[in-house]
Amino acid sequence: MKILVTGAAGYIGAVLTPTLLKAGHKVVALDNFMYNQVSLLDCCHDENLTIVRGDTRDKALLQRLMKDTDAIFPLACLTGAPLCAQDPVGAQTILFDAIQMILDLRSKSQMVIFPTTNSGYGVGEKGKFCTEETPLRPISLYGKLKVQAEEAILGTGNSITLRLATAFGVSPRMRLDLLVNDFTYRAVYDKFIVLFEAHFKRNYIHVRDISKAFVHSLNNFDKMKNEPYNVGLSDANLSKLELCQEIKKYVPDFYFVEATIGEDPDKRDYIVSNAKIEKTGFKPDVSLPKGIQELIKGYKVVKRNQYANI
């Protein structure tokens, strides 16, 4: 197939793009390279790859790139609650307006597979797993816009949405702000962390398994279409405190303590069921412990380009 991937040089796209090429697909990779990343350089030898530097909000550009594609994966995003709060106009235009434009431009035969987020569940009920039938109660602007985009996409048909758990793991376009990545980095370099609202739970998924979920959805499109799917590790519904305890198994001198004051700006707190996508035959490959060990190794290479505690 010929697949348009927007945000193709981002954290997920940098893993997904080479995966699609390896599977024999043609990929049109659109990105504005806002972080000056070099994450697609290792794919440039592949003649099935076309790289376009541009903005996903450019209607004329999208119209041209979408003309003869079989599928569209709209990954371009201002990801996370803090970034969207800093730039609400950018969040609105990228997370929702650009998606609506793609839906307006596409033909009925073009497939759309969209990564939303299970942060749309907001605060779950104690002891109850959030399923795809659970009411969506997003708290942040990021979560609200993702939910709106998901509703628009599923409302047009011929689409699949993947409600991703919190991603982790090494990517060519590395992110250190994601919870597992951040906590593991702090364990390796700072040796300590102060936790706010340490009992808050969420689900996790490795970035390579996110890529696998896209390919799985593409390969099983007719069976799965027009539905949302939670995508996470079913054995990794963990609180922040439990996550730190897991990291400590591999960084023994990691110290963590819960603060009695202060609050987490991202108020998500829920546990998630991934049974629906598992019933379609999807099974993640990378466990949380394997991902933590991978990150520890990766942090021999990656270091923050900013001041930090010594």
Closest by Cα among 76, 222, 103, 232 to 160: 222
Looking at every residue in the chain, the average pLDDT score rounds to 94
Asked whether 274 and 205 are in contact (CB, 8 A), the reply is no
User: What pLDDT is attached to residue 265?
Assistant: 62
The answer, as to whether pTM is greater than 0.75, is yes
Q: Range with the lowest mean pLDDT among 97-106, 124-133, 217-226, 227-236? A: 124-133
Q: Which domains does the chain have, with CATH numbers?
A: 2-167+204-231 (3.40.50.720)
Q: Average the pLDDT over 48-70 and give the result.
A: 97
Asked whether 11 and 167 are in contact (CB, 8 A), the reply is yes
User: What pLDDT is attached to residue 306?
Assistant: 59
Q: Average the pLDDT over 210-228 and give the result.
A: 98
User: Would the pLDDT of 310 be above 50?
Assistant: no
Q: How far is CA 231 from its chain centroid?
A: 10
Q: Which residue type does 37 have?
A: Q
User: What pLDDT is attached to residue 264?
Assistant: 67
Per-residue pLDDT of 20-39, as tens digits, reads 999 999 999 999 999 899 99
User: Would the pLDDT of 155 be above 60?
Assistant: yes
